[in-house]
Structure 1
Amino acid sequence: MNANFLDIGLSYAIDTPIFTLGPKGTSSEFASVHFCNWMKKYYSNSDHEINLKQTYEEARDNLTGQNGLLIVANAYSRINDFYMDPRLSLLATFVLDTPPYGLAVANNHLLKEKFNIASHPAPIPLIEELLPQHLEVEQVIQMPSTSAAAKAVASGDVDMALTTEIAARINKLTFISKCRPIHMLWSVFGTVKNYN
């Protein structure tokens, strides 16, 4: 996978924790791991612990009290809140494809024509593209992450999830659609008090 980085001030961010959207299996976690590997390559003494939170806002709130980084997908509908937050400073951006997304069901799920689909709000437009022709969406249930959507299917709360291959594997789901990645821009923020 190829990622293009714009490093605005990462030399100040060596050996700091990273906060991003969880739980395990999110595209944000995937991007954060990639970011950590990039940092180790270009800043040899760089080491980062990744902290997964239920929302990007919770991740930001955990960051602002300490020295650290916040990684947010630019597809997030409220990304502007982070750019406008006077406590944050943009330190880097990078382009990285997400893990492949697809529509997944529990292995023992009986197929029916109409489904409730759980998804994070950002990739909802993919549902129409990925949905097999013989199926129909009854309701889209918004979740805080695509990993949370996969968990909802595994627990039987919803019929299907738009989720990543990673989250589907963690939750033992089966894809019923083709899968594809999303070419994504990611923003890396630090706290103003530490980086200005």
Structure 2
Amino acid sequence: MTEHLLHAGPAAPGGADRDPTPFPVLWEPARIPGSPLLRPGRMRVGTLGPEGTTSMVALERLGHRLAHLGGPDIVPVPYDSFEELLAATGARGGPAYALVPGAAECATRFFWSPQLRLDATFSTPTPEYGIATRGPSLHEGVLRLATLHETRRLVELLDGAEGGRGRYEIVWVPAESTMHAARLVAAGRADAAITNEPGRSAHRLRFQVSRPGVPMVWMVFGPAVLSRSARPVPSPEHTSGAPYRDR
């Protein structure tokens, strides 16, 4: 079920649609109309941080989209890793909801968590990605390259650099996010980083090679069991006396 079946969205003055993020959201049908994601208020949603990571960019866009649909004001809660996010979501003091990219290595664990359930999905492009340095160029030889596991494949961008990938002996420097990878370069702990445009800009790095962003599927996980007041209304086929069960 897509959002246009549920909300027309508020009309902007003059009839113009001022929503800056007009992507559709695909809702898990059994959660409609009970999902708190469709009700006003404030909601804490966790994802991979800090500010500037691709996940935080996607969460900001989701916040704009939900606000346009009459949903809650999103309060971002950044975590250093998706493993920490998984442990915190739904726990005491943690956010009730989590935003996870389909490309995350541990995304499957969110599906199988007994505390969580998929509420919605949407697609939005990532920022530009590339290999960034502090200096004006890449130096031939040993290259300490900071990256998180999911973006290692972008080392292939070096094939487009002068002399190709063969000029470098790659030494991997593990990073927890694109922003962390850029920070490692800024601190001198790596020679280059596979990072995104916000990471490059925040740490004043230079892209030596880069590529445009790509459409990414994002998943919103919420509580496995909604409160009684938030449960979906049974359809007519479930009103014949038999107890309604969420299927």
If the length of structure 1 is used for normalisation, what is the TM-score?
0.90
Query: Which residue number corresponds to residue 116 of structure 2?
Result: 88
Tell me the distance in 2 between the aligned counterparts of 1:29 and 1:161: 19
Alpha-carbon separation, structure 1, partners of 2:47 and 2:95: 14
Greater relative CO, 1 or 2 (CA 8 Å, sep 6+): 1
Structure-1 separation of matches of 2:27 and 2:120: 5
Q: Which residue pairs with 1:5 in the alignment? A: 25
Quote the offset at 1:25 in angstroms: 1.3
Q: Is the 8 A contact 2:88 2:95 kept in 1?
A: no
Residue in 2 aligned with 1:181? Answer: 213
Unaligned runs of 5+ in 2: 1-20, 232-247
* CA pair 111-67 structure 1, distance change in 2 beyond 3 A: closer
User: How far is 1:3 from its partner?
Assistant: 3.0
Give 1:178 shift.
2.7
User: Alpha-carbon deviations, 1:154-194, whole Å to 9, x = none?
Assistant: 10000000000001111111111133212211110012233
Aligned residues: 194
Which residue of structure 1 lines up, in the alignment, with residue 244 of structure 2?
none
Match of 1:156 in 2: 188
Q: 1:172 to 1:67 in 2, by over 3 A?
A: closer
Q: 1:67 to 1:176 in 2, by over 3 A?
A: closer
* Separation (CA, whole Å) in 2 of partners of 1:179 and 1:31: 18
d(CA) in 2 for partners of 1:162 and 1:77? 17
Q: Find the aligned partners of 1:76 and 1:133 in 2 and give their Cα distance.
A: 31
Whether 1:144 aligns to 2:168 is no
How does 1:38-77 map onto structure 2 within 5 Å? Answer: 38-42=65-69, 44-65=70-91, 68-77=96-105
Cα deviation code 1:66-103 (max 9, x no counterpart): 56210011101111111000100100011111111011
The runs of 4+ residues in structure 1 deviating greater than 6 Å are none
Note if contact 2:44-2:76 (Cα within 8 Å) is conserved in structure 1: yes
User: Which amino acid is 1:19 matched to?
Assistant: G
Unaligned runs of 5+ in 1: none
Instruction: Select the structure of larger CA radius of gyration.
Output: 2
Structure 2 match to 1:113: 140
Cα offset for 1:41? 0.9
- TM-score scaled by length of structure 2: 0.72
Q: Do residues 168 (structure 1) and 203 (structure 2) align? A: no
Deviation at residue 56 of structure 1 after TM alignment: 1.2
